Structure 1
Amino acid sequence: MEGSLFFLFFLFHTLFLAESSEISIQERMLLKALGLNGKPNPVNPGPVPKTLWSIFKKGIQNDNPCRMEGFEVPGNIVRSYRNQGPLTSSGAPHQSLCSRKHLFFDLSAVEKKEQITLGQLEIKFKRNTYDGQQFQLRLYRILQMSLKGMRQHKTNRKLLVAQSFRLLHKSLYFNLTKVAEDWTNPEKNMGLVLEIFQNATSTKSSSTHCEQINSFIHASLFTVSLDPSGCKTSRTKRSSSSSLPSPANICKKRNFYIDFKDVGWHNWVIAPRGYMANYCHGECPYPLTEMLKGTNHAVLQTLVHSTEPEITPLPSCAPTKLSPISMLYYDNNDNVVLRHYEDMVVDECGCR
């Protein structure tokens, strides 16, 4: 991601008491940097999936914000989509059919610059009781939909998965990465059809088995994507001299906490509620010491300033090392998003 999101946060916070029109401009800049087309206003937000909470609490592993450890794939954005598909026609073409669902997930929030590295469908059941009964599952991708409703012809859908399963205390997961890639183009997203059949060899009545399947609770889709602009190929190592003492007016890191409630973001930012962003402030006097981590340019600039102070200013105090944070929030479509952001916390300062 170009530039530092930290500076946008700092700018927005310092202008919070300014005119509302100015605040709006700064807020739009920051929301755009966060990958949002406007300030989210959750209407009917769903619960945060346990998987996303788990990844968020672990933090960014190995100082690498461009890999999602929980999913073991490259990426810095995870989105959770709820099923928006309606219940399809109840007319069953086979007596053994227990349930048919039309699944639809809106992936319009995925930006063109993002690379989908994982698409995972999760299917849950409310009551997972095991009685030895086996079911058959078929998952189709819809290729065409009529104006009068969905037709169940083979030419209009493609079989993606066909497998047997038992009702156990766990979810069913299916890798739909290629499908999710296609769905970033809304014209190619017609959704899925999920069909579940009872085993034809069963000795129990069809209603007994179908009652268990009809306790189907929901399907959700996870996507992991990589925004290359938010990744760095290398990171600056922490200098051992950062802990050396310095006078109060010398360039150094200052503590600065951003509370999302103060900027009116608490209703859509799930976690964290705020974070220690910090900032750099202080003088860069001549001669520059090693502690101030001055660049060659800064050293020469202070040297020239010592001879011509009225013409050449001293170098500026600026961040020399920044670190990422993770954010959990609801996007403009009420989807739950976990995203890693570079350059959000100032760790070290120096003269530039």
Structure 2
Amino acid sequence: MTALGDLIEIDDRTVLVLGQELDLGHDRPDVANALVHRVGDTLVMVDTGVTAAFRAALREAADRVGPWSRALVLTTHGHPDHVGNNDLADDLDVPVEHYVPAPDLDQMLDPASYWVRSFERIAGLAPLPAPPAATAGKVVSLFQPMRPFGATTRTYEERPLERIRIGSLRFTGWTFADGAVRVLRSQGHCAGHVIVYLGDCGVLHLSDEGNGACGAMVDADQLKIQTVLGAVSRLFEEGEAVVLTDGHTFSVRRGAEVVSYLDGLLEQATALQTAALNLAGEIRRIRPSTFATRYAEAIADLHVGGANPNALFTAMTAVNVLRELGLRPESDAADAPWSRPALDNPAPAATGT
């Protein structure tokens, strides 16, 4: 049984700091895992979680992988469970750089509005404990202290975009520490998401791209999630990466186990889309409340899902899946039916000879 702040040593220079699951019923925030690594004299910290207890665990991990005389703090995306202790960069007492994704700045500056948008989409589809604005405020209030920016914070996008080749695969992103640290754009779980590859030890930190087979967030992109899962699997098949860590499963996966795990996520994605087609494909018109209920049943029947499973995230995913299937709301009314646009196939005009 793991606990918040537990450390998993990957090697003598790399430590995974474990977070915790979300528990809305007990007002407990989720806390994302963070990766702490040393390359040469540089401390690399990937995400900072949230809560004072997790901050203390990060400092312990940083001491364990030392010594270091400079630091690089990398934020994978802007969700509050990943960014609450970002100002730790200011307290390391060494020259430091801190980078965040530019597409996530809006939600980092105003997280309540981001969650209001997410919950407004599912009003009437899931048992919100309060109206969307109040629910969003409650959720955001759990993540304290919330300090996503420091004196040195910049966006990745202020640096020139690079073409990055790892094995047979090509990515775009940014490199640090003479190429030992590579930040790869993925942008599936949310608009600004990146993953991090540590070339000197073969560790790839997937962060939340592996948080279930389908995305729940309002700015999630199902195709990008599934594409990056396939690409990462290829890196492990080629031996370019040997250890996989992520934001929420509280474990370290190695070698062939990783390929099997990622293939399983992709199998889940295809199984869920098949189930969704069975629910909505033939009738081509369905109320989202009905679809969300049946989709939740399909998830239970298939024994699939991501970290922090709850009714709210399942309903958010269901709305995204409806869009993925090409359905659109017929009006702005609450729980208005969704359908596909009618196809207009007039008979071909007669042609002369």
TM over 0.5: no
TM-score range relative to shorter protein: under 0.3
Give the number of the structure whose alpha-carbon radius of gyration is greater: 1
TM-score, normalised via structure 1 length: 0.24
Q: Which is richer in helix?
A: 2
Structure holding more strand per residue:
1
